């Protein structure tokens, strides 16, 4: 465990990015780059549950903690990636307190949830460390719910006050789409939604998170109080690097070959 939950409780700002290629190699490269955390994306990413294990193994020796975004709050989706060793779960499009409670229930063992007990799994070092894992799981496992629908904006205080919801994570693309202002992150409606989310989280003593792709946006969101910050993705890094190199070589070709 990389202590993401405790570090957020201590008020740290944690920097991360998305992993959406389903590749253990890009996961390891990104994990070694200096991020505090990474998110393996099973909602929109190219990988499947089968690929999560290899990515978790690749990230084990890096400084980055690992959150997995599951496709839904169905308990089987949550249980499987936790058993593989994920440090946290992110669930998309949580609409209501009931859905948020379902996420939390899948995250924790009874009596605090209904996570199934399996000792012979990677998370417990294949039964060698089950007792410690079980006793400390509530303090270690991070529960992240995404604020990206118009409906959940009516329930922010209720969701934030649920024990086990540790982070309200704003999804700008989906939230702006739901509000009918897609991509207009300076629109008053979007700004109000962000501010209300942060206020609800702060009142409940919880953290707020957000994903963006332009690092110039960092200070704006950080000054508002957002502390779980993601910028970019492995696919973006590869694509940007490839385009930059191709463009550079094209420019050199255009200048002609003067030889030595």
Known catalytic residues are 44
Shortest CA distance to 12 belongs to which of 232, 229, 165?
Answer: 229
Beta pairing partners, 91:
145
Instruction: Classify residue 45 as left (phi > 0), alpha (psi -120 to 50) or beta.
Output: beta
Long-range contacts of 191-194 (CB under 8 A, 24+ apart): 193/147, 193/153, 194/170, 194/221, 194/224
- Residues 234, 231: Cα–Cα separation, whole Å: 10
Shortest CA distance to 201 belongs to which of 140, 147, 139, 151?
Answer: 147
């Amino acid at each position: 465990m990389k202590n993401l939950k405790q570090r957020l409780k201590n008020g740290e700002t944690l920097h991360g990015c998305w992993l959406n290629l389903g590749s253990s190699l890009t996961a390891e490269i990104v994990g070694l780059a200096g991020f505090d955390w990474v998110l393996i994306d099973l909602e929109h990413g190219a990988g499947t549950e089968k690929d999560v294990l290899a990515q978790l193994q690749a990230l084990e020796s890096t400084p980055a903690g690992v959150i997995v975004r599951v496709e839904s709050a169905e308990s089987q989706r949550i249980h499987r990636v936790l058993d593989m060793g994920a440090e946290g779960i992110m669930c998309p499009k949580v609409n209501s307190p009931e859905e948020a409670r379902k996420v939390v229930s899948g995250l924790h063992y009874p009596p605090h949830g209904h996570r199934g007990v399996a000792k012979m799994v990677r998370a417990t070092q294949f039964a060698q460390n089950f007792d410690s894992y079980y006793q400390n799981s509530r303090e270690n496992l991070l529960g992240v719910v995404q604020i990206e629908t118009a409906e959940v904006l009516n329930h922010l205080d209720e969701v934030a006050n649920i024990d086990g919801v540790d982070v309200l994570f704003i999804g700008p693309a989906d939230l702006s789409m739901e509000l009918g202002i897609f991509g207009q992150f300076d629109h008053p409606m979007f700004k109000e939604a962000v501010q209300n989310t942060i206020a609800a989280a702060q009142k409940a003593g919880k953290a707020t998170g957000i994903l963006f792709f332009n690092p110039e946006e960092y200070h704006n969101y950080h000054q508002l109080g957002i502390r779980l910050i993601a910028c970019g993705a492995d696919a973006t890094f590869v694509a940007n690097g490839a385009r930059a190199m191709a463009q550079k070589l094209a420019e050199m070709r255009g200048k002609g070959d003067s030889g030595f």
